[in-house]
Amino acid sequence: MRLAIYPGSFDPVTNGHLDVIKRAAKLFDRVIVAVAHNEQKQGLFSTEERVSLLNATAGQTANVEVMEFNGLLVEFAAAQGACAVIRGLRAISDFEFEFQMALMNRKLDASIETLFLMPKEDYTYLSSRIVKEIARLGGGIESFVPEPVRAALGEKFAAERRISAKV
């Protein structure tokens, strides 16, 4: 049983993440999408909301499971019995940070390999941050995120607009 962990913020999950998850699910018997819970880093969506959006999308693939984790990634991966950590590489700009993280994780636990997967070219410019920016400004995001995420972003920003109209 070969298990891989795909960790990230997923705030929220985009079609780029889903592309990477599908590729990983073909290579491994089981994939755990691990949502990092970080008290210091408040996102737009709560950890529960991110997990729920992932369950509604990535979680529909038979060998993909969604979990939340906090603390050291290598410790979580070892506790689950994973042999690999998956990360997505979009462009050279991702490389330096990812390379540093991968080597640090190897120092912490040499038994876990980091594997980089490239998404379909159409998704190389996609990030959660840019999708949130477009949605906040009222732009169309249907080709960047799955439907449950589009709906959730719509609700989030409609709520924000209602609050700022009241202030």
Q: Site mask, ligand ADP, residues 129-158, x = CB under 6 A?
A: ------------------------------
- Binding of ligand ADP at residue 54 (CB under 6 A)? no
Q: Residue holding tokens 């998850």? A: 21
Ramachandran area for residue 124 (φ above 0: left; ψ -120 to 50: alpha; else beta):
alpha
Annotated catalytic, 37?
no
1 versus 91: smaller Cβ distance to ligand ADP:
91
Annotated catalytic, 128?
yes
Annotated catalytic, 166?
no
Annotated catalytic, 41?
yes
CB of 17 closer than 8 Å to CB of 10: yes
Ramachandran area for residue 101 (φ above 0: left; ψ -120 to 50: alpha; else beta):
alpha
Catalytic residue among 26, 41, 107, 166, which?
Answer: 41
CA distance 53 to 43: 14
- Binding of ligand ADP at residue 123 (CB under 6 A)? yes
Give catalytic residues, as residue numbers. Answer: 17, 41, 90, 128
